Amino acid sequence: MGFEDISARMKKIAPGGGAAKGKAPAKAPDPAESFRLRAKMLGVLLTDARRSAERTIEDCAYLLRVTPEQFQAWEYGEDAPSLPQMELLAYYLGVPISHFWGTETLEAKQGVHVDIQTEYMALRTRMIGVMLHAAREEMGLSLDDISQSTSIPRDKIEWYEQGETAIPMHELTVLAGALKKNTNYFLESSGYIGQWLTSREEWKNFSALPEEKRRFAANPRNVGFLEIAIMLSKMPVENLREVGASILDITR
């Protein structure tokens, strides 16, 4: 049964959906049929979102800690997930939660599916190549210099800089070291993925602070102190020395 067929049947069993002017009112809607069709519609939308994100049934089942058979039952409309499970799926599959109670599939809306993952990786490969080239130029090193210090063939490094070949992580780490750069230098820093990665790193660093400092930073009453600390961190060294000298004068 297609999505349009399910939608049409839902309209027929909706209150007033089967009655026309001058005709006897339709029979009372069947709640069981309504629930069954709603589950079928949700199953179609689940399958649509999963295929659009190029995830397998096993991937989604593992995410939600259910069996593949259980997830497949949801897609067949034989059962339905809970709202928290749907929230996790929406995040994992990259769709708004409202997609699951909408009336349009991604396939119908987008036509041919765009391979976002491949486009993203190709773009990032080129960006990392440009950053690698810029870092090498900044150090005043030639391709031969880097090749000699890293034992990576010169031609290979040139391909990396041109963005023609993705750099394996273990080689990128060695190249970063030779260029006096932290591996984080090459990380995505903008866009949704970049912001998410940055926030995760910031949370990791915050969680590593001693408990007393975490409590201080999390207390809204201490926002003023934190703002002062931020302003001080942006001051030139000479200005900081003047501030320090002033504080010493006050405490004498």
User: Do 3-110 and 116-186 agree at the fold level?
Assistant: yes
The pTM assigned to this predicted structure is 0.43
- Burial class of 55 by CB neighbour count within 10 A (0 to 12, 13 to 18, 19+): middle
Instruction: Give the pair of three-digit tokens for residue 235.
Output: 């001051």
Query: pLDDT value at position 85?
Result: 92
Residue 229 has pLDDT above 80, yes or no: yes
Instruction: Give the pair of three-digit tokens for residue 141.
Output: 């090193």
Residue 89: strand, helix, or coil? helix
Residue 20 has pLDDT above 50, yes or no: no
Query: pLDDT value at position 31?
Result: 74
Query: pLDDT value at position 101?
Result: 80
pLDDT tens for 104-125 read: 777 655 544 445 667 778 888 8
pLDDT tens for 51-65 read: 988 899 999 999 999
For 94-102, the CB contacts below 8 A with 24+ separation are 94/53, 95/49, 95/52, 95/53, 99/45, 99/49, 100/42, 100/45, 100/46, 100/49, 101/42, 102/45
Least confident of 70-79, 102-111, 134-143, 185-194: 102-111
- Alpha-carbon distance 125 to 190, whole Å? 15
Assign a CATH topology to domain 116-186: 434 Repressor (Amino-terminal Domain) (1.10.260)
Other beta carbons less than 10 A from residue 163's beta carbon: 19
Domain ranges of the chain: 3-110, 116-186, 211-252
State which H helix or E strand residue 229 sits in.
helix 223-234
Highest mean pLDDT among 76-90, 94-108, 117-131: 76-90
- Alpha-carbon distance 39 to 216, whole Å? 49
Residue 172 has pLDDT above 80, yes or no: yes
Query: pLDDT value at position 66?
Result: 95
CATH 1.10.260.40, domain 3-110, yes or no: yes
The pLDDT-based confidence of 70 (bands split at 50, 70, 90) is very high
The alpha carbon dihedral of 216, 217, 219, 225 has a sign of positive
pLDDT tens for 122-155 read: 888 888 999 999 999 999 999 999 999 999 999 9
The pLDDT-based confidence of 190 (bands split at 50, 70, 90) is low
Other beta carbons less than 10 A from residue 25's beta carbon: 10
Q: Do residues 40 and 77 make contact, with C-beta atoms less than 8 angstroms apart? A: yes
The pLDDT-based confidence of 21 (bands split at 50, 70, 90) is very low
Residue 29 has pLDDT above 90, yes or no: no
- Burial class of 26 by CB neighbour count within 10 A (0 to 12, 13 to 18, 19+): middle
- Alpha-carbon distance 3 to 103, whole Å? 8
